[in-house]
Amino acid sequence: MALTDYVTLGRSGLKVSPLCLGAMTFGSDWGWGADVPESEAMISRYLDAGGNFIDTANGYTRGHSEVIIGDLLARTPGLRDRTVLATKFSTNLYPGDPNAGGASRKNIMASCDESLRRLRTDYIDLYWMHFWDPHTPIDETLRALDDLVRAGKVRYIGVSDTPAWKVAQAQVLADMRNWSRFVGLQIEYSLIERTVEGELVPMALELGLGITPWSPLRGGVLTGKYTRENAATASPGRGDRVKAYFTDRTFAIVDTLIRVAGELGTTPAAVAVAWVQARKGVASTIIGARSVAQLDQNLAALDIRLGAEHVSALDAVSTPTLGFPMPFMAFTAMIAQGGTTVNGVPSVPWPMAPQPGQPRY
């Protein structure tokens, strides 16, 4: 696979690379990102390799991430139009102003204009609601986004970090009122974070949303550089946000990643990204990096073909605990299918069903 093996995003005609360049690390304003030259080098490396999908947000490095991307794209005529540029609204950059964040019409319109200015463009290819705003009716958010699409400022819309029931409500409402519908779902998804397989992933498959996972390496935890042996002395750049995942389950996953990577002659990071990208419903996985070297390690995932035995081992060691009704659903094939196989799903006979010679009332 290559970055030029484009896929359509959800139920849309928007064609994106299988790996998306995440720009949360662009700018050192937060104390741990990449400086401007290194950020530009990563963008150039990604685009030169055929990648076309860059994802940022208004709040990343206080808006500097958008500026870095916009400045580079503006220097090369035609480059902006060949790039699928995604950004997000919801983050409040003006402390003390309650209307400068969230998903209200007032903030969406203002945030879009500010992002357009920083990105030095007159349209955004994919505009994400960064997270659910429980204080704003979803119909207000959808109508504002539809107005931006109709005005030509936005081409497509997506939703990130929002409960499945709320996304489903939004999709149905958009269809009923002939408004622009979400084409993408951005969620955290990795070998560590698999609880999204309970509700969010099935919802995306059913409602035509292309999944774009973020943090496939869980902030670097799945790169293999943190192990049981060095966890006590490790000092990750993101501190407790990373250390919170130093658990027995995590290290069991890391051990398996290291073993599989050794068998395939690659890195644990590449294996972890390849595992996510191969999951059902995933369109384009967002990869972040703080250097060109890290970016290259992530891009190496495109060269990996995980064998069935590798996928099975990784699945087994990372099996999540899902909330109700998912555990109950494991028994429904037995109850509903009568011991037959339906759409490839086998079942055993339900022992409480009427047996031969027993009455059916």
Instruction: Find, among 66, 153, 61, the residue nearest to 115 by Cα.
Output: 66
Distance between CA atoms of residues 49 and 53, nearest Å? 12
How many CB atoms lie under 10 A from the CB of residue 167? 24
* Number of Cβ atoms within 10 Å of the Cβ of 276: 24
Q: Alpha helix locations (H) across 75-121? A: 79-82, 105-119
Q: Tally Cβ neighbours within 10 Å of residue 121.
A: 21
CB 32 within 8 A of CB 238: yes
Among 60, 123, 156, 189, the active-site one is 60
Strands 15-16 and 7-8, by their bridges, are: antiparallel
Active site residue 94: no
The sign of the dihedral angle between the CA atoms of 314, 317, 323, 325 is positive
- Identify the residue whose tokens are 């490790």: 234
Whole-angstrom Cα distance, residue 248 to residue 206? 34
Question: Alpha-carbon torsion 313, 315, 319, 320, what sign?
Answer: positive
Are residues 187 and 132 in contact, defined by beta-carbon separation less than 8 angstroms?
no
Q: What are phi and psi of 34, to 5 degrees?
A: -90, 145
Report DSSP letters for 216-235, one per residue.
TTGGGGGGSS--TTTGGG--
Closest CA relative to residue 45, chosen from 305, 287, 304, 306: 287
What single letter denotes the amino acid at residue 258? I
Alpha-carbon gap, residue 119 to 60, rounded angstroms: 13
Report angle CA 241, 36, 242 to the nearest 5 degrees: 10
| Residues involved in catalysis | 60
